[in-house]
Every structure is written in structure tokens, then in C-alpha cells.
Amino acid sequence: MIMTDKDFDLHVFITHFVPPKVTLFETLADIVCPRFSFEYLRSWARLLKHGTRGFQPWKKDILTNPRKRAQRERESKLAEVIRAVELIQAFSVNINIYTNSDLQMSGTSKNSNIRVIRNSNFNKMNTQNNSPWTDDFENSPWNLLWEHKKDLKLLAQQKSRRKRIFLVLENDVLFTQQNLNYWLKNRETLRHSRLVPSFLRIEYSQNLGDWICIDIHGMNSLKERILRKIADNLVLQIPSLYSGLIVLDDELLVEYVESKAIDKLQSKELIWWDLGARASMGIQFVNIPQYFSDRHVIPLYQPLNLEVPKEALVHHLPNLYSSVPELANRYPTLDRVNRQLET
């Protein structure tokens, strides 16, 4: 049964990591000291296996300057994300922000409540604890992305008089009422197929003057797409498509907390993704239906004029990747994705 306005509680979980200020001495120490440790030797093994040692603060690349610009706007983007969530029609909107900073944030809606959970353990960035490909550093800032799992487990054990929706977001991805309406509608349509409606992250490229799909890596990914008819709806699946967010209802939450996906280490058995990406995959790779690569699909509303529904699009607010022409040109535009669906 599709939920009506305000007959459910919305629980939102947002991770807000703020890179700590580092002195010149600390920067030099981070460069020199790790090279005299066994961990530096292990980094060569990671380099051979994954093609990277992980993020190295002293090593600049084409995203270094765009990331710095995005960092300066991090708090304003978070505020924009929160305001959009507060506008969602629900009985209550409970927003949980997990951060390593002294963030101060208050709600603007009478039915919203904001809780800031501070954890200073994840407040150091260096070569030893800042690779998303390693899982053995307790103070790695990537672990902050997993802190909300504890609260999800507690909520799964609690009984509620009202239905509940659980939304896990990055701190710079805009999620609106229209996005939730799309999910609720298609959740009911797909319920008996074990498939779950998903989203496509987009950025606006000033250079191209168009929207680009930052999680579709080249047109080969589209050629591997799956189009199938489910309950009179045509659904699109782009294998292993990252969306950067999780939406669950009560039933899916129980399935999630009982699966390997909610565990940092066991989740590696489901997909090769790094620690950060696995924190946002939800039940994507749990109990996968036959003939599909995972459970995430995008329902297409117009069989005669195929296109990704606007409600399935979520804006990555910093427009980070699209700001670098060398990267923007690697990703297909939204228009090109839609045209490819018709071929």
C-alpha cells in the first residue's frame, strides 16, 4: 500500500566529514615517517592490486584544486541538503548528522529534529589511515561513513506505530520530495520482484552546457544495460551502478541489518567496492533476483519514448567531476543516455 502524506516517520542519516587543519610540520611528518614503516611496503602491494595506494595528500592530481574549492562550500551544501529533506511531507523528519567537527545545525521546520553526533576519533588524515582500500585502521576517516549503521540496527529492533522510511545520504547529494515519491511508488510496483528503485547521480557541466551522469563510466556500461518488463513496467539496470544513497522501508531495513552488507568486512564478500562506496550500497547486492546483476533498477515510465525519469535523478551539488573538462568528457550526458536507451 502506497503511503499517503505525513503517515510515516522519516529518519535521515548524513555523514559530514571535515578534513582537519594540518600544520606544515605535520604535513612533512606524514610524508617522511610512513616511508620507514611496514605499512609503506604494504602500500606497494595495494598499488599493484588496485592501481592506487589510496588518497595521498601530498600528491596532486586534476581533482586537487576542485576538491579544495568544494571543501570551502561543504557546510553550505550540507545546509541545502537538510533544507530539501525538511520539506519532505512526513509526520516527523529526524535528521542525524555524523561528523568529526564542531558543526552547529538547527532545524527550520516544526516537525523536524536535528541530532549532531560528533566523533573526534576520525580527525586525522595521513598516508596510513586515509585509504578506502584498507580496513584495519580504526581511526580511518572512512569509518565515519559506517557510524550510522549502529543506529540503523537499533531502529530495526524497535517497534513503531507508524511506518518508517530510512534515508542515508552523502552530505552533498540533493534528495527531494519528488525523489521520495518516485521511490515509494515504484517500491510497491517492484515489491514482489525483490528489485528496488534506484537513482542516477548527475552534475551540471558548465563546459558542456549539459547534465552528465557521473556514475556511468563510458558508453560500454550502457551497452551492458539490462531492460526487462516487471509488472507491466520496463525497468533499466546498469550493472553495479553507484548512487551514493540508501532508501529503506521497515521491511528492507530488517533485511539490511541481517545481511553481510551492513558489516564493514563481510560486505567485501558481496562486491569489490572500497570502504566508502560499500557504506552506501544498502541491499543492492543482497538476495539478487535471477537474470539481474544486483537489485537496483530504474523504472522507465514511457515505453514508446524511453528516458530516465526526472524523479530518479539526484544532483551532486558540488558539480565536482564536471568542473574538470578532462573528466567531464569521459561521462555520458543525460541526453546521450536517454538516446542510447532507444537503440
Q: pLDDT tens across 142-194, in order? A: 899 999 999 999 999 999 999 999 999 999 999 999 999 999 999 999 999 99
Quick: pLDDT tens for 266-318: 999 999 999 999 999 999 999 999 989 999 999 987 666 788 999 999 999 99
Is the pLDDT reported for residue 264 higher than 90? Answer: yes
- Helix, strand or coil for residue 215? coil
Task: Provide the strand spans (E) within the chain.
Answer: 8-16, 92-99, 112-118, 163-170, 173-174, 196-197, 200-205, 210-213, 226-230, 233-237, 245-249, 296-300, 313-316
Calculate the average pLDDT of the chain: 86
- The answer on pLDDT for 24 being more than 60 is yes
User: Terminal CA-to-CA distance of the chain, rounded, Å?
Assistant: 35
User: What pLDDT is recorded for position 58?
Assistant: 39
Report how far Cα 152 is from the mean position of its chain's Cα atoms. Answer: 16
CB 201 within 8 A of CB 173: yes
Whether 4 shows a pLDDT value over 70: the answer reads: no
313 φ, ψ (degrees, to nearest 5): -95, 135
Q: Which tens digit of pLDDT belongs to each residue from 218-244?
A: 666 677 788 888 877 889 998 889 999
Instruction: Say if residue 255's pLDDT is above 50.
Output: yes
Q: CA 151, 153, 156 angle in degrees (round to 5)?
A: 110
Answer with the residue of higher pLDDT: 256 or 328. Answer: 256
Task: Note the Cα 102 to chain centre separation in Å.
Answer: 23
Q: What pLDDT is attached to residue 57?
A: 44
Give the residue among 155, 145, 116 at the shortest CA–CA distance from 11. 155
Query: What value does the mean pLDDT take over residues 319-323?
Result: 92
The answer to whether 207 and 328 have CB atoms below 8 angstroms apart is: yes
Q: Does the pLDDT at position 203 exceed 70?
A: yes
User: Is residue 2 pLDDT above 60, yes or no?
Assistant: no
User: Tell me, what's the pLDDT at 297?
Assistant: 95
Query: Closest by alpha carbon to 87, among 7, 167, 175?
Result: 175
pLDDT at 114: 94
- The domain spans of the chain are 1-171+247-279, 176-244+281-343
- Find out whether 91 and 9 touch, Cβ atoms under 8 Å: yes
- Report pLDDT for 188: 93
Report the share of the chain in percent with pLDDT over 90.
55
Q: How confident is residue 6, by pLDDT bands cut at 50, 70 and 90?
A: confident
- Tens of pLDDT, residue by residue over 29-70, are 666 766 666 666 777 777 777 776 654 543 556 666 777 777
Q: What's the alpha-carbon Rg for the chain, to the nearest Å?
A: 20
Mean pLDDT of 89-104: 92
**Bigger pLDDT: 71 or 101?**
101
Better-scored residue on pLDDT, 156 or 5:
156
